[in-house]
Each structure stands twice: as structure tokens, then as C-alpha cells.
Homo-oligomer: A and B are copies of this chain.
């Protein structure tokens, strides 16, 4: 028995294919009697409408592509889970675009909107993978897009962000309030907007406290665990060590902590460690990691919300949503040691 199509169901129930389609998509505009006949045939035949025909006809795929640098990252994984759930509710499926940091793959995924594989794009990378012509506004040339986490420096696209600068400032102020004066910073990749923003917060908090920045205390990382370990090793070699280290991600903070503990240092008695993100494992470290909490669920929700606005044609206007971070004080930070 071959797979049933809409024509088969129409024949079985004695109506036209159009009516079968209406019964399935828009039951209210069909008489009850017809509806019953059709549904009976649908159920007995086990008919599932093919998306191929519908997609071609409506020019919609029902898919949203999420372009992310690395899905194994706890922050990204948390966001994408929320995205998937919310998209699901709205009848959309999520296509996974893990770029693994490659610009070429970024471009590949972005183009899925052009071929109709996806109706909208969620961009968590910091490049703009689309070519823009100067004389047209972005909204006219682009598929529905929402940009999140790493702010792409382009006008006219919707964004969901946290205030990274304020977050970093809050982190450093927390350390200052504990009496720390030599506060190191372990950055993310130099060219990411989030790193530049957080760095700005770091500098501004120190400046406001009247502390001159020692550039030896500013170390480049890449948000990953290993770079946090490397940065800590570097800091431990300094003649004048920091009394606190602010890592721009929890992963780096966790790496830094493990290096410290391996070398017999006590956290926070000898050195305080501060993270950023509040991933699932932050509270489980010993000592539990003080960090800046990012609202992953809300970020995911907002992304879908803004994208749906565009998909539903409700608006062309880009919207900017800023979500609140929060300081979570745990045990990895404490008063500066007296020397």
C-alpha cells in the first residue's frame, strides 16, 4: 500500500482535495458533516500531509536556523534549549548551525534562508554573514534575523543582549568592595564584541576607584577552560600577583580555579576568583563560583519573540531587547588578603 496523498483522502471521503486541505488547516470554515467524513478518512488512512507540497505552495519551510559558534558551550546550550521549546510552540522547527568558529560555515548557514531551508535566522556569531548594499535599508535585503549574545555592529537588525559593560563593572565593583586593588582580567577572544564591552566595564570600574590598570594583569583568553588555565599560570608567575581574578567566562574561571588548587593556593583566602555566565556547574565548584548570571531562558524566549514578529510580518522595525544580568555572590570571592 503506497503512501496516501491528499487526493486519496479526497476520493475516499468524497470531497475535493481543496476541502481536505481546508479541513486540516482551517476546520472552522468547513461544515461539521464534511469535517467528520474527512477526519475519518484521515485517521483510518493514517494520512499525514506532506510538507513538500505545502512548503512549495506557501514558500515557507517552517524552519528557523540557529547559527552558533559552539553548541557544547553551556551558555549556548541553555539558550538553544529555550529557543527550541519556544519555536516548537509557534510551529517552527530549529535547524542547528554549529559554525565551530569557521566563517565559511557561518556563511553557509546564513544562506539557508535564501534557499528556503529556513524562514528566519538567529545569529549568535559576531560576523555579519550577509552582504549588504549601501543604498538599501537592512530590513529590505535580509531575511528575518535576530542577533544575540555577540552584537553585530550593524544598524537595523533586532537584537537581544545583556549589558556586558555594566556586567563587568558590577563584577569588578564587587571585588573592589572586598578591598581588592590588584584585580586581573582574563578576556575572551580579542575581536568579540562581548569581550570589548566587558573590558570596558573592567577599565571603567578601576578608573572610578582611582586604580591604575597594570597591563600585566590583563590576559587574553578565548572563553574556553584551557585558556583560563593558561592565563592563571601566567598570572602566578608575576612578581606582584593579583589578589583577585575576574574571568570573562565561567569556563575560564573554572580552569583558573583548578590551576590554583593544583598549586596549593586557597580560594578565596589567597586569591579571589570571579566568573561570568553562571553556568550549571558554577555553584557546584568548591568553593562555589561567584559570577554574573545570564538569563539564558529569557534570552532564548526573546530571540524567538522578536523573530516571530518579523516572520508574522507584524513589523519591519528592528527591536532591541536588553535583559538584566545579576551578581551572584558565592564562596570563590572574599576579602583581599592583608600583606
Chain A residues in the interface with B (C-beta under 8 A): 48-53, 55-56, 59, 61-63, 70-72, 74, 77-78, 80-81, 84-85, 88, 93-96, 98, 100, 105, 111-112, 114-117, 225, 254-255, 257-258, 261-262, 280-281, 283-286, 288
Complex Cα–Cα for A262 and B285 (A): 10
CB-based contact A93/B95 at 8 Å = yes
Complex Cα–Cα for A85 and B72 (A): 13
Distance of A231 from chain B, by nearest CB (Å): 14
Distance of A316 from chain B, by nearest CB (Å): 18
Chain B residues contacting A100 (CB-CB under 8 Å) are 81, 85
Closest chain B residue, CB of each to CB of A288? B258
Chain B residues contacting A48 (CB-CB under 8 Å) are 111, 114-115
Distance of A284 from chain B, by nearest CB (Å): 5
Copies in the complex: 2
Known: A51-B116, A59-B52, A72-B280. A95 touches B98 (CB 8 A): no
Chain B residues contacting A112 (CB-CB under 8 Å) are 93
A96 contacts which of B74, B84, B114, B284 (Cβ < 8 Å)?
B84
Known: A72-B78, A78-B72. A51 touches B96 (CB 8 A): no
Distance of A321 from chain B, by nearest CB (Å): 22
Complex Cα–Cα for A257 and B286 (A): 9
Given pairs A51-B117, A81-B98, A93-B117, 5 additional interface contacts (CB within 8 A): A55-B56, A63-B95, A81-B100, A255-B284, A261-B286
CB-based contact B63/A52 at 8 Å = no
CB-based contact B72/A77 at 8 Å = yes
Known: A74-B72, A225-B284. A116 touches B50 (CB 8 A): yes
Distance of A65 from chain B, by nearest CB (Å): 8
Distance of A241 from chain B, by nearest CB (Å): 20
Complex Cα–Cα for A116 and B50 (A): 6
The 9 closest A-B pairs by CB, nearest first: A52-B56, A72-B77, A94-B96, A261-B286, A258-B284, A48-B114, A84-B98, A51-B116, A50-B116
